[in-house]
Structure 1
Amino acid sequence: MPHQRYPWTQALAAAFLLCSLAAGAQTASSDTSTTEREIHALFQALQQSGCEFARNGQWYSASEASAHLQRKYSYLQKRALAPTAEDFIARAASQSSMSGKPYLVRCPGQPEVRSQPWFESQLAKVRAAQ
């Protein structure tokens, strides 16, 4: 029997498996922390923007919008539905999950725009600053 002839092969295979799992967990953990940092930077950008945020036809302050989106993000996190900042933008920050209507952003001195391209632009700025 080969495993009796080379008893160290089983130990080596187990060690390799553990190292592979640990490396995968570390990568997933760093991806998660990068995603969380980016999403929190988006919340901060919104709060500091001085913009207003429309949801289902009503305008809200940036801090109210940020609080609402943080609740939506929490919901998505619990279900592992926002593994990237792009997923967060698409699933939480682009449209109402109740009505399906797109969210809008209105910043001082600028026309209102849909929130998805606004957040995508903010994400590009966050990434460029890293």
Structure 2
Amino acid sequence: MKRILCLGLLLVSTVCVASTKQEIETMLDTLRHSDCQFERSGTWYSGKRAAEHLKDKWDYAKDEVDSSETFIKEVASGSWLLGNQYHVKCQDTTTTSEQWLTEQLQIIRSKS
């Protein structure tokens, strides 16, 4: 019985990791292909450059990221060094990257 329970927990854990990875990759891909601009530390970057930066941060912190929400809050919402929030500007609307990515995550999940 313990073996079956452990195997079941392992399978659920693997599915959650795969799902989290897919969600994060989809959020980064959405940013990469958007016409939005991404601000960090006072400088505006293209969505492509922003996605590359966030992927680098994610690669560094992957072992600590157990959910898409953790990725958004702990990795993609601001500078680790300076503590500044990141912002996303799409057309005439500017918001925090945390808000923008949370909205993207809701869209991704609504399509699942």
**TM-score higher than 0.5 here?**
yes
Name 2:60's counterpart in structure 1: 75
Q: What is the CA RMSD across the aligned residues, in angstroms?
A: 0.9
Please, which runs of 5 or more residues in structure 2 have no aligned partner?
Answer: none
Task: Please identify runs of 4+ aligned residues in structure 1 that moved more than 6 A.
Answer: none
Please, which runs of 5 or more residues in structure 1 have no aligned partner?
Answer: 1-15
Separation (CA, whole Å) in 1 of partners of 2:34 and 2:103:
13
Relative to the length of structure 1, the TM-score reads: 0.83
Identity %: 29
Q: How many residues align?
A: 112
Answer yes or no: is 1:49 the counterpart of 2:31.
no
Separation (CA, whole Å) in 2 of partners of 1:124 and 1:55:
23
> Which of these residues, 96, 105, 112, is aligned with residue 79 of structure 2?
96
Separation (CA, whole Å) in 2 of partners of 1:120 and 1:62:
16
> Which of these residues, 36, 48, 68, is aligned with residue 63 of structure 1?
48
Relative to the length of structure 2, the TM-score reads: 0.96
Structure having the larger proportion of residues in strand:
2
Matches within 5 A, 1:19-58: 19-58=4-43
**What's the secondary structure of 2:64's corresponding residue?**
coil
What code does the residue aligned with 1:129 have? Answer: K
Separation (CA, whole Å) in 2 of partners of 1:28 and 1:81:
15
Once the two structures are TM-superposed, the CA of residue 19 in structure 1 deviates from its matched residue by: 1.3
> Which of these residues, 57, 70, 77, is aligned with residue 87 of structure 1?
70
